Each structure stands twice: as C-alpha cells, then as structure tokens.
Amino acid sequence: MAGGIASASESAGIYKGRAGLLILPSWLIIGFFLLLPVCMMLIYSFLTKEFRGGVIWEFSLAAYDQFFFNRGLFGDEPPQIEWTYINIFWRSLWQAGLATIFCLVIGFPTAWFIATRVPRHRTIWLLLITIPYWVNLLIRTVSMKFLIRDTGPLNEFLIWLGAIGEPLHLINTNIAVQLGLFYSYLPFMVLPIYASAERYNFSLSEAAADLYAGRWTILRVVILPAVKPGIIAGSILVFVPSLGAFLAPDLLGGAKTFMIGSLIEEQFKGNAGNWPFGAATSMILLSIVMTVLIFYARSQTRREAR
C-alpha cells in the first residue's frame, strides 16, 4: 500500500490534469444508473400508488404508514402496530445472522487449515473453495432444492443408511432457507479469514505456548483476536447478501418463510404490486445495510489509526 502511494506521488507528472477525465466514466455510469436511481427510489417511496403498478405524483406517507401501522380494513380505526412486515424483517435478520454463525463455524477452521498448508498447496485448496462460488447462484440453489426434496437423494440416502424411517420434510421450511443461505455464501466467509490467517505471525503462538497456554487457549486468546478483521469482513460478506437474498427463500421456502427479498419483489410483479411500498421497504433494507457498513468502516479507520 505504501509503495502504491509513493509511486503515485512520483508519477504526478504523467497523468497531470487527466485524472479527472479518467475517473469520469465511472462517475457518469454509476452516478447516473445507480446513485440517481437510488435517490429516485427514495422519492417514489413518498408517492401515491397507482393500482396497476407505477405511481401517481402526489406526496404521501402511505407506504411507510402501511409498513408500521395497521388502521383496519377501511383505514379509519385507531392505528395499531402492524407486525406482518416487522416480522418479515425480523425473520430475515435472524436467518441472516444464523447463516453468518454457521458459515463462521465451518469457515474459520477451513480458512485456518488452508492457511497452515505449504504455500504450493494453499492455491489448490483455495481454488477448490472458490469454484462453487463462480457457479451460477440460481443453479446452486436449484441443486440444493433437488438434493433436499422429500423424495430427493438426501432423504433416500438417509433412509438407506437407516438413520430415518420416513423422509424429512425440509422444503418450504426455515431450515431449507437456512441451508440455502449458508450454502450460497459460505465461500465469502472462508476467503477473508484466510487472508487474515495467512499473515498471522506464529511466533505469537510459540510465545503463548512458552507461557504454558494450551492449544485451545492459544486459539481463543491469541489467534482469534489476530484474525478478527478477517472474521468481521467475512461476517459482513455473508450477512449483508443473506439479508436481502431472494433466490434461496423463494425457491427453497414457502409462505411461512417469507423474507425481505420476496416481499420487495412481490410489490413489482403482476397487478397486486405497490411500487411506493416496495420502494419504502427497499429504503428500510438499504438503511439497515448502510448502518452495518458505516459501523464497519468506522471500526476499520479506528484500527488503522491505532
């Protein structure tokens, strides 16, 4: 990093006056087709819904009101807290949190194991971890669905083993969605932890062992704090996409396992849609994600300051 900055200062002459021009395409494309659309979405969340999709340009708080309050069938009763959507958010939060924990439990030992191989073997192990990530997410989710169906290979195998008498009903349950999320984002946990673990200085472990620390004490007191940046980065990389996931809850889950992604998607498909409500729900999701990311960025800058 330091080298990059040093060389940047020397080369100030080469691209003098052109830097702005070079960065311009990124600003134009991302600014115009992502930043502006997100602002537009914010505006739409305060508009009135058109019944066949789309909006009427009239200011309204109806979308946010619908999210948080229930005013009865005709909208004239005293407002009560509406739990339907809060529950969907709550389910998404714990499903994403649980997926993060499971990914950590499997991902940390895997990352550590790979980081302690000889360098020549590390690349091969890493390649094995990354290949599934590059396989189409839809295909991976469909594969999971095929595997855990009531009459699928997993149940057949377990019955053949004699572990279970009759097939497990996994499809359309929270367990299936959890499996799907875990499976989708597991490589995201392994890679950042590996990056941290690879830089770990083993003399720390030796010093701890000299002071009569046991193997697991070393893991808990010395290694885990040392690879914490990787663990945090990995957790964010699993948690954030899980929170807004669409494919896993949609294909593996059912009506009782509804998550934010499906709730939003439903507002923009077909005639039952409610664009302002979908926009408002998206804004709430985006705020949660941005809060997580800002806390992360702040902890990073504090770490660098130290």
Partner 1 sequence: MSQRHDLRRFPGFLQLTLLCLLLLYAPLMVVMVYSFNDNTSITIWGGFSLRWYEDVFFGVEAPKFKQAALNSLSIATMAATCATIIAISSAVAMMRARQLRGRTASFALINLPLMVPEIVTAVASLIFFSAIGFTTGYATILVAHIVFCIPFAYLPIAARMQSIEDTYEQAAMDLYATPAQAFRLVLLPLMMPGVFSGFLLAFIISLDDFLITNFVKGAGIETLPTAIFGSVKTGIKPNIMAISTLLLLVSVGFVTLSYLASRMGQNKEQKT
User: Site size for partner 1, by CB under 8 A?
Assistant: 100
Residues 169, 173, 178: CA angle, nearest 5 degrees = 115
Report the site for partner 1 in 55-94 (rule: CB under 8 A): none
Amino acid letter, residue 289: V
How far is residue 94 from each of residues 67, 99, 101, 262, 288, measured CA to CA in Å? 19, 8, 10, 16, 14
Amino acid letter, residue 139: I
Among 48, 60, 70, 143, binds partner 1 (CB under 8 A): 143
Q: What's the min distance (Å) between Cβ of 79 and partner 1?
A: 26
Report the site for partner 1 in 215-274 (rule: CB under 8 A): 215-216, 218-219, 240-241, 243-244, 246-247, 251, 260-261, 264-265, 268
Using CB under 8 A as the criterion, what x/- string covers residues 162-201 for binding partner 1? Answer: --------------------xx--xx--x-----------
Q: What's the min distance (Å) between Cβ of 84 and partner 1?
A: 19
Nearer to partner 1, 72 or 146 (CB): 146
Among 44, 67, 89, 188, binds partner 1 (CB under 8 A): 44
d(CA 42, CA 281): 10
Stretch that binds partner 1, among 62-70, 74-82, 168-176, 283-291 (CB under 8 A): 283-291
Residue pair 206/252 in contact (Cβ under 8 Å)? The answer is no
Sequence-distant (6+) residues with CB within 8 A of 166 are 159
d(CA 242, CA 134): 17
Residues 16, 21, 27: CA angle, nearest 5 degrees = 135
Among 73, 139, 255, 305, binds partner 1 (CB under 8 A): 139
By CB under 8 A, residue 36 contacts partner 1? yes
Place of tokens 């407002």: 79
- Closest to 236 (Cα-Cα) out of 197, 185, 200: 185
Question: Alpha-carbon torsion 49, 54, 55, 56, what sign?
Answer: negative
Report the site for partner 1 in 150-169 (rule: CB under 8 A): 151-153
By CB under 8 A, residue 38 contacts partner 1? yes
Among 40, 61, 164, 224, binds partner 1 (CB under 8 A): 40
Question: Alpha-carbon torsion 29, 30, 33, 36, what sign?
Answer: negative
Using CB under 8 A as the criterion, what x/- string covers residues 96-115 for binding partner 1? Answer: ----------xx-xx-xxx-
By CB under 8 A, residue 295 contacts partner 1? no
Nearer to partner 1, 7 or 306 (CB): 7
Q: What's the min distance (Å) between Cβ of 184 and partner 1?
A: 11
